[in-house]
Amino acid sequence: MNKNNNFSILILTLCSKKTGTGNLKRSLQLQQSLLKEKINCEIWTDQNIETKKIINTLKYKAKIKCFKKITLKIQDYKKFRLVVIDIAWNDLWLDANSSSLIKLIEKLERLNIRVVNIGKPKLETSLFRSFIDIYPDGSQANVSGNVSPRFIALRKEFRSARLKNNRVFKGSIFI
């Protein structure tokens, strides 16, 4: 990945009482890693109490926009070269906006803007450039239902988690 300042990444993520805060926390950790590499990264998320609590605890300068309603208009996405979708498969917003989101992904593809999905893909489209599966080995930990060493590396609060299997992850996580 080219690390110049012209390369911008957008992460779309949501959190709620129903789906939890894991997607937003993972996206913030990913953003922090990208910023250390001097890669521009912006997060768009929904505006709610859970989001506000998480953002208020940040100890680094994060570029985050909170929306009452996340826009799905193509002109708002043209400045990005990569769009990462990190939305829980059971999120109500995703259900309500899936057809509009698929149309957006089609338009992004035509503009050669890459779209990546993190986690379980729910959208019925073949246009994702790639998927990032954070649970490839299916291991679990006491702190969460599906946590693998790869996920623990991305989430600070899970680094000290006791895994049910004793495998140690020695690979790399990259986009």
Kindly tell me the burial class for residue 172, based on how many C-beta atoms sit within 10 Å of its own C-beta (0-12, 13-18, 19 or more): exposed
pTM for this prediction: 0.73
The verdict on residue 2 lying in a domain is: no
The verdict on residue 74 lying in a domain is: yes
The verdict on residue 51 lying in a domain is: yes
Residue 39: CB atoms within 10 A of its CB come to: 19
Query: Is the separation of the CB atoms in 1 and 175 below 8 Å?
Result: yes
**Structure confidence at residue 149 (pLDDT):** 44
pLDDT in tens, 12-55: 998 877 777 888 888 888 888 888 888 899 999 999 888 888 88
Placement of tokens 């959208």 in the chain: 123
The verdict on residue 38 lying in a domain is: yes
The verdict on residue 172 lying in a domain is: no
Average of per-residue pLDDT values in the chain: 76
The residue that leads in pLDDT, 74 or 124, is 74
CATH number assigned to the domain comprising residue 30:
3.40.50.11190
CA angle 114, 119, 121 (to 5 degrees): 70
Report how many domains make up the chain. 1
The verdict on residue 173 lying in a domain is: no
The verdict on residue 73 lying in a domain is: yes
What confidence category does residue 129 fall into, taking pLDDT thresholds of 50, 70 and 90? low
The verdict on residue 164 lying in a domain is: no
Domain with 20, as residue range(s), is 8-133
